[in-house]
Amino acid sequence: MKAWGKIQAKHFFSFRLTSEAVTPIIGSLLMLLILVVLASIIAISFSNIAEEGKSSQPLMAKISLESCEGGLPKTGKGQDATFENNTIMLIHKGGSSLPLDNISIKISGYGKSYRPALEPGIKGYLTGNISLLYLDLIPHGKNPAYYPVNNKATLEDGLWNVGEKLVLCGQDSAVGATKSSVKVSVDGDYNTSDNYGFKVGSEVTLKVIDTKRSNVIAEQRVIVKHAEG
């Protein structure tokens, strides 16, 4: 019995010593696991903060207004021009790539827009101070015969990148059943066909706007030249 008691005591103390040795190891592993989890949470938090900070930064780009050609559509005596002849060419010279769906362009100057006929067979025009807004720069809501054709390379990836040009045309407004994303008013009157032409020799002001952040990226003024051809 004494021998059996010694064996039991021996096993008891062996088990106790083993448990005492394992406990600190388990504790260390748990602490290490907690530290890894905390480090992952902190890393994800900092990554999200960095992404939010990056997305909130204003877009910066150098936009050059290379040319503005046009003329008022002829009604009797005057300049022989059409809305299609009115073009504005912009070139991205440097800075951020601009997402087309978040960029709008606002243009103002003296010109003319076509008013839908109030009576069959009677054409009408509005002449005065034009306020023109491209709600965005994507092809949707614009005349497929002009805007997408003139800007094919720029529209491919949804971004206006450095070196790419953007051509605006007086007939960019959508026609037919499609809702236009080009809006035109003349002296505050929005009853127009959303086409536009600017008087030769007058000054046009153009702003490129980051609509997501309500930030003006570029603003330029130019004198309208007579369209060639």
Residue 196: predicted pLDDT: 95
Q: Are residues 43 and 94 in the same domain?
A: no
Residue 93: predicted pLDDT: 96
Question: pTM, whole model, 2 decimals?
Answer: 0.73
Q: Are residues 137 and 183 in the same domain?
A: yes
CA distances from 60 to 19, 102, 161, 187 (A): 64, 13, 12, 32
What is the span of the domain harbouring residue 102? 61-226
Domain count, the chain: 2
pLDDT in tens, 176-222: 667 899 999 999 998 888 999 999 999 999 999 999 998 999 999 99
Q: Is the pLDDT of residue 54 over 60?
A: no
In the numeric block, which tokens belong to residue 113? 């827009």
CA gap 83, 191 in Å, rounded:
17
Domain-ending residue, one of 12, 31, 57 = 57
Residue 121 confidence class, pLDDT cut points 50, 70, 90: low
Q: Are residues 53 and 65 in the same domain?
A: no
pLDDT in tens, 61-108: 999 999 999 998 876 555 568 999 999 999 999 999 999 999 999 999
